Amino acid sequence: MRLNPVTPELQQRHRRTGWLLALVGAVLLIGSPYLPWAWSDDALDDMTYLFGPSPTQFLGLALGAVLLVCLLAPRLLARVLAGRRARWFAFADGAKAAALGALVFVAVVVVGIAVELGGLVNVRYGGWIALVAALLAVAGTMLLPRDRPATLGGVRSPGWLVISTIAVVMLVTLLLVAYALDEDDPVIFVALLAFVAGVVAVLLKLGVGPWFSSQTARHRGVLVASAFLVAFAFPFTQDGSEANMSIATQVLIFAATALGLNIVVGLAGLLDLGYIAFLGAGAFVAAILSGSAFSAVGWNPPFIVTVLISGVVASLLGLIIGSPTLRVSGDYLAIVTLAFGEIFRLVMINLDGSDGPDLTNGSNGIPGVPDLDLLGFDFGEPHVLLGVEIGRFANYYFLLLLVIALIMVVFANLNRSRIGRGWVAIREDEKAAEAMGVNVFGLKLFAFAGGAFLAGVAGAVRAHHDISVTPDQYIFLESAFLLAAVVLGGMGTIVGVLLGAVLLRLMPEKLRFVDEYRLLIFGALLVLMMRFRPEGLVASRRRQLEFHEDDEELADKVDPTVTRAEGAR
């Protein structure tokens, strides 16, 4: 089902008119940031100046410039390259994505001004011109004929160009994340998300996304090293801000847990709605063995031992719940795992010395968990690194980076192994896999135990990071958010799950002003994702074709080398 209701015949007849409308819209979008958008400087980042665009207005200008390039590039390339390479790009589709992204961006800003200042009357003429320009651009691009699929993904590029592109992408990512965390205005944060989504959509339509994916497959080591270098550099951009680093560490804990769940759901295809219990098991074990004054156990082993015990206890719980229940599947498995998550929470509440052994202090949990002291390094004390003071949360941030690196190595190797191929076979067709000699029950059990172990490791770090552990931290809603991160990002992928985890943990922190409607917004986003991109934000080619079996255009886009490589995994 296409979003564009205009018929191809109408597009061919009015394509020149559409191009002119879109061109006018692009020019107005570029010029409108130099006009005032609001009557008061209390809205967003002060959009009251004439010929003085604010940083947010510059984002709208950038979207207008991208739209203008998409409209003019085919003609310029056709002249310069005699049309030979202009067909590599789908410029019309890129223009449509840029126009739609600009409309969403301007609409968010206009609504934000109205909300923060008390009505649409506070939006000045510059904002209305920008909104009309975006509408003109969308209407004009709808009249443009559809392009042939972009073929840039099959172009082989020199190594220096790919490595330089990776460096630029990582640097831009670091700057965007730092800017987003430093921004206190939630409307600006949402507008920034709309801007990034629009630019990414344009790059995907132009074929730059498939090109980047295919080229980085040849330089995967450089990509991974660059990503970790950027992640390592992030605390140095925060100027000692403990608030931002606290959010960042929470994001990493959530991401590490989601990667563990990705083994169960993304690879093995087992719908687990109680996965948060394994994170809680690791956290409670670490808190009990932490030496806290509120712990009923007097043993305080080194943290390395505690981590291993936490992971083993969580994996044993995975075996206990998996052994009797993994002979069922689908909705029945989901119901059983949901019940297990609730049972775990209630058991932790009952281990208060009254209804059961005194281990967890009941609903009060175990407060006063001391900071880690690993090999003489006190995570609770600030340290100076490369001339920059690194606070408590930054210390845990670096530790969690190592944990995520470990989980990524485990996940990648399992995915490439016979075990990973067996999980994928079970996910695709359990009966067929069993008929081909795959040990279905054993691999399911291993997936549950392995995913639980990784969650237990993340839980052990979380206990010391949060200082206290209570049963109410591990409710069903947390399991739902973890599952949503896997589905939203892209099941069976590493980058996709990390991206989904970052979005789902970061957005609630920045959208507290709509606290009552956060779940409604979250549900609406998931519905839109399931409608327009069910394979996730970052999906493998195999899953894209699974969800779009009848899409011949998508099949044509698949790089044969990538398809063969994935088929060999």
Q: Are 18 and 146 in contact (CB under 8 A)?
A: no
Three-class DSSP category at 390: strand
Residue with tokens 């009505």: 119
pLDDT in tens, the chain (569 residues): 344 556 666 666 667 888 889 999 999 999 999 999 888 888 888 888 888 888 888 888 999 999 998 888 876 665 554 445 555 567 788 888 899 999 999 999 998 888 888 888 888 898 999 999 999 999 988 888 776 665 565 566 777 777 787 788 888 888 887 777 777 778 888 888 889 888 888 888 887 777 777 777 777 777 778 888 888 888 888 776 777 888 888 888 888 888 888 888 888 888 888 888 899 999 999 989 888 888 878 788 888 898 999 999 999 988 888 777 777 777 788 888 888 888 888 888 888 777 777 788 888 888 888 888 877 778 888 877 777 777 888 888 888 888 888 888 888 888 888 888 888 888 888 788 888 888 888 888 888 888 889 899 999 999 888 888 888 888 888 888 888 888 888 777 777 788 888 888 877 777 776 666 767 777 787 787 777 777 777 766 666 666 555 554 444 444 444 443 443 33
pLDDT of 41: 82
What is residue 146's DSSP assignment?
P
Q: Which of 46, 25, 50, 7 is nearest to 103 (CA)?
A: 25
pLDDT of 566: 42
Q: Are 457 and 307 in contact (CB under 8 A)?
A: yes
Residue with tokens 């067709």: 429
Residue 317, CA atoms < 13 Å, CB-side half-sphere: 27
Q: Are 9 and 81 in contact (CB under 8 A)?
A: no
pLDDT of 552: 46
Record the tokens describing residue 101, joined without a space: 């992204």
Q: What distance in Å separates the CA atoms of residue 140 and residue 558, rounded to the nearest whole number? A: 30
Q: What distance in Å separates the CA atoms of residue 417 and residue 561, rounded to the nearest whole number? A: 20
From the options 1.10.3470, 1.10.20, 3.40.50, 3.80.10, give the CATH code of 241-373+389-538. 1.10.3470
Cα 103 off chain centre by: 23
Q: Are 470 and 515 in contact (CB under 8 A)?
A: no
Record the tokens describing residue 93, joined without a space: 């589709």
What is residue 38's DSSP assignment?
B
Record the tokens describing residue 395, joined without a space: 């210390």
| CB burial readout 431-461, b (16+ within 10 A) else e | eebeeeebebeebbbbbbbbbbbbbbbbbbb
Q: State how beta strands 388-390 and 383-385 pair.
A: antiparallel
Within 366-467, strands assigned E span 373-374, 377-378, 383-385, 388-390
Q: What distance in Å separates the CA atoms of residue 50 and residue 14, rounded to the nearest whole number? A: 36
Record the tokens describing residue 282, joined without a space: 């690791």
What is residue 50's DSSP assignment?
T
Three-class DSSP category at 309: helix
Q: Are 285 and 456 in contact (CB under 8 A)?
A: yes
Three-class DSSP category at 385: strand
390 DSSP β-pair partners: 383
Q: Are 10 and 96 in contact (CB under 8 A)?
A: no
Q: Are 114 and 72 in contact (CB under 8 A)?
A: no
Residue type, 498: L
Residue with tokens 């003085």: 52
Q: What distance in Å separates the CA atoms of residue 131 and residue 25, rounded to the nearest whole number? A: 9
Record the tokens describing residue 346, joined without a space: 């209630």
pLDDT of 29: 92
Record the tokens describing residue 354, joined without a space: 């009254």
- Location of each CATH 1.10.3470 domain in the chain: 241-373+389-538
DSSP string, 334-378: HHHHHHHHHHHHHHHHH-BSSSS-BSS-GGG-B--PPPPEETTEE
pLDDT of 106: 92
Q: What distance in Å separates the CA atoms of residue 412 and residue 408, rounded to the nearest whole number? A: 6
Residue with tokens 């941030």: 397
- Percentage helix, strand, coil, to 5, in the chain? 70, 5, 25
Record the tokens describing residue 311, joined without a space: 């992971």
DSSP string, 75-135: HHHHHHSTTTTGGGS-HHHHHHHHHHHHHHHHHHHHHHHHHHHTSGGGB-HHHHHHHHHHH
Cβ neighbours of residue 102 closer than 8 Å, sequence gap 6 or more: 29, 60, 63, 64, 67, 133, 134, 137, 198
Could you tell me the end-to-end alpha-carbon distance of the chain, in angstroms, rounded to an integer? Answer: 32
